[in-house]
């Protein structure tokens, strides 16, 4: 339902429905229950034509039908409309809706609604009645929204009689109203259906299609010129702007919803810099961390019994080491006898290890003794050789001293 926000934005310069304004039909008869918009299911009036007193006379104006707009919003999302300035667009925009515009001959438009079983034969006859027959209900000219189903709707430009006639006597105001309403139709919808008969097409002057209907013929008197200037006080619609989108963004536009989350693009309004925002859903990554509950030794048997009720127990030896298994058997199952083979095996292994260590110590001690004996033998051999060398040296020293003493005696 994004078109509602676009519609209100485009209609900011249009007046709201007030009691001082008079619709064309009210000028001829009291409306009461004569408005066929109240009789067609799913039909809501968005824009209406009315008479207003200007400074130079009565002029036509386009107004927002606040009553129908509020009813449409609240029918789609309850309590979404409080006033024109208080509309819950976030919830309304989350509803995916496809729109097609429809304009042309009112008889052909009514026949389309009849063929689609939107209206019955009685409503069809009332919609196609001549405007001169003011005693019968009719549908006022304007822009309407018709809800066809839950995700498809029509934006209908219901025209004034004679607006498509290429007659010099046709009122320029009627043509101006047609152009203004058609501008809203093309702003609200990307695709439109034109319903015209061959007779309507013959009446179109395609050669003068570029003629500006806002220009009044020079033959008009001064009053008509002033009246035209008064009508220009209504509103002006600019050509708008175009946004070039990449292929990736165009693909994202087709992703309207995912997991009930709206992902349609958003236009960020600004007086100077308009922005186009696309959205995509990034799946969250769930990081879970298992925290084992802390259970005391006394509570462990009861806790384990509660957990194992109606279940099988599987022990994963890749995650449970021998110490955890021992605690489980001893304190959880309370079956110490299951651990006897384990304890015996551990004792046997410890005994073998102690015996092997003792043998290794004895072997090392014997090797030390052998090394000591070999060292003693080597030391004794060295001492014997050293003793002989000392004796020889002493003998040579004594002989040398005797010769010296003899020489000294001779000199004396």
For 363-384, how does the pLDDT look when each residue is reduced to its tens digit (9 = 90+)?
A: 999 999 999 999 888 888 887 7
Which residue, of 199, 225, 240, is where some domain finishes?
240
Q: What is the mean pLDDT of residues 57-62?
A: 69
Whether 69 shows a pLDDT value over 50: the answer reads yes
Q: What is the CA radius of gyration of the chain?
A: 54
Q: Among the listed ranges 133-147, 263-277, 336-350, 369-383, which one has the minimum average pLDDT value? A: 263-277
Is residue 290 a part of any domain in this protein? no
Q: Which residue has the tokens 């039908």?
A: 65
In which band, very low, low, confident or very high, does the pLDDT at 217 lie, cut at 50, 70 and 90? Answer: very low
Same domain for 216 and 351? no
Same domain for 322 and 367? no
Q: How far apart are the first and last CA of the chain?
A: 151
Is residue 277 a part of any domain in this protein? no
Burial class of residue 65 in the structure, from the number of CB atoms within 10 Å of its CB (0-12 exposed, 13-18 middle, 19+ buried) = buried
Q: Among the listed ranges 38-47, 320-329, 356-365, which one has the minimum average pLDDT value? A: 320-329
Can you give the residue range of the structural domain that contains 134?
2-240
Same domain for 92 and 214? yes
pLDDT digits (tens, 9 = 90+) for 80-128: 888 888 888 888 888 888 899 999 998 999 999 999 999 999 999 888 8
Same domain for 17 and 104? yes
Q: Enter the pTM of the model.
A: 0.48
Q: Among the listed ranges 151-165, 235-249, 371-385, which one has the minimum average pLDDT value? A: 235-249
Distance of CA 17 to the CA centre of its chain: 37
Which residue, of 203, 221, 240, is where some domain finishes?
240
Same domain for 368 and 318? no
Q: Describe the crossing of helices 222-231 and 172-188 by its angle, rounded to 10 degrees.
A: 20
Task: State the pLDDT at residue 216.
Answer: 42
Tell me the torsion sign for CA atoms 36, 37, 38, 43. positive
Which residue, of 240, 262, 286, is where some domain finishes?
240
CB 93 within 8 A of CB 2: yes
Same domain for 236 and 355? no
Same domain for 182 and 328? no
Task: State the pLDDT at residue 229.
Answer: 46
Distance CA 84, CA 67 (A): 10
Same domain for 118 and 184? yes
pLDDT digits (tens, 9 = 90+) for 297-355: 777 777 777 777 878 778 777 887 888 878 777 777 777 777 788 888 888 889 899 99
Q: What percent of the chain has pLDDT over 90?
A: 16
Is residue 80 a part of any domain in this protein? yes
Please provide the average confidence, as pLDDT, over all residues in the chain: 75
Q: Which residue has the higher pLDDT, 136 or 369?
A: 369
CA atoms within 13 A on the CB side of 388: 5
**Domain total for the chain?**
3
Q: Among the listed ranges 177-181, 245-249, 257-261, which one has the minimum average pLDDT value? A: 257-261
Is residue 366 a part of any domain in this protein? yes
Same domain for 54 and 85? yes
Longest dimension (CA), the chain: 187
Distance CA 118, CA 404 (A): 159
Is residue 291 a part of any domain in this protein? no
Same domain for 203 and 308? no
Same domain for 213 and 98? yes
Is residue 287 a part of any domain in this protein? no
Is residue 168 a part of any domain in this protein? yes
When mean pLDDT is compared over 19-28, 172-181, 282-291, 307-316, the highest value belongs to 172-181
Same domain for 309 and 170? no
| Pairing status of strand 86-87 against strand 98-104 | unpaired
| Ordered DSSP codes for 148-212 | EETTEEEEEEEPPTTTT---TTS-HHHHHHHHHHHHHHHHH-S-EEEE--HHHHHT--GGGTT--
Task: State the pLDDT at residue 131.
Answer: 56
Is residue 261 a part of any domain in this protein? no
When mean pLDDT is compared over 103-107, 227-231, 397-401, the highest value belongs to 103-107
């Amino acid at each position: 339902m994004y078109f509602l926000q676009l519609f209100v934005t485009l209609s900011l310069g249009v007046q709201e429905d007030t009691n001082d304004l008079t619709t064309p039909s009210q000028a001829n008869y009291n409306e009461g229950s004569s408005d066929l918009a109240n009789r067609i299911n799913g039909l809501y009036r968005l824009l209406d034509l009315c008479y207003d007193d200007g400074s130079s006379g009565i002029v036509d104006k386009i107004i927002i039908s606040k009553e129908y707009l509020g009813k449409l919003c609240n029918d789609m999302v309850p309590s979404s409309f409080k006033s024109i300035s208080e509309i819950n667009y976030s919830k309304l925009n989350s509803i995916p809706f496809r729109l097609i515009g429809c304009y042309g001959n009112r008889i052909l438009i009514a026949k389309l609604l009849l063929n689609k079983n939107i209206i019955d034969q009685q409503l069809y006859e009332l919609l196609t009645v001549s405007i001169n027959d003011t005693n019968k209900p009719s549908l006022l000219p304007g822009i309407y929204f018709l809800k066809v189903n839950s995700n498809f709707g029509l934006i209908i430009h219901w025209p004034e009689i004679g607006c498509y006639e290429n007659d010099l006597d046709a009122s320029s105001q009627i043509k101006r109203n047609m152009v203004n309403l058609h501008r809203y139709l093309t702003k609200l919808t990307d695709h439109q259906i034109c319903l015209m008969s061959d007779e309507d097409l013959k009446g179109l002057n395609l050669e003068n299609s570029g003629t500006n209907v806002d220009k009044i013929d020079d033959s008009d008197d001064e009053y008509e010129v002033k009246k035209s200037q008064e009508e220009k006080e209504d509103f002006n619609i600019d050509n708008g702007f175009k946004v070039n989108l990449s292929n990736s963004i165009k693909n994202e536009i087709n992703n309207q919803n995912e997991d009930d989350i709206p992902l349609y693009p958003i236009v960020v309004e600004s007086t100077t810099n308009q922005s186009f925002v696309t959205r995509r859903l990034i799946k969250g990554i769930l990081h879970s961390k298992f925290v084992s509950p802390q259970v005391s030794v006394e509570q462990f048997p009861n806790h384990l019994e509660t957990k194992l009720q109606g279940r099988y127990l599987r022990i994963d030896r890749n995650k449970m080491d021998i110490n955890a298994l021992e605690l489980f058997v001893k304190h959880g199952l309370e079956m110490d006898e299951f651990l006897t083979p384990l304890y015996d095996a551990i004792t046997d292994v410890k005994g073998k290890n102690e015996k092997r260590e003792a043998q290794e110590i004895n072997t090392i001690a014997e090797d030390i003794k052998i090394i000591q004996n070999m060292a003693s033998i080597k030391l004794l051999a060295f001492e014997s050789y050293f003793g002989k060398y000392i004796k020889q040296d002493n003998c040579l020293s004594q002989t040398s001293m005797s010769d010296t003493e003899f020489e000294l005696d001779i000199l004396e």
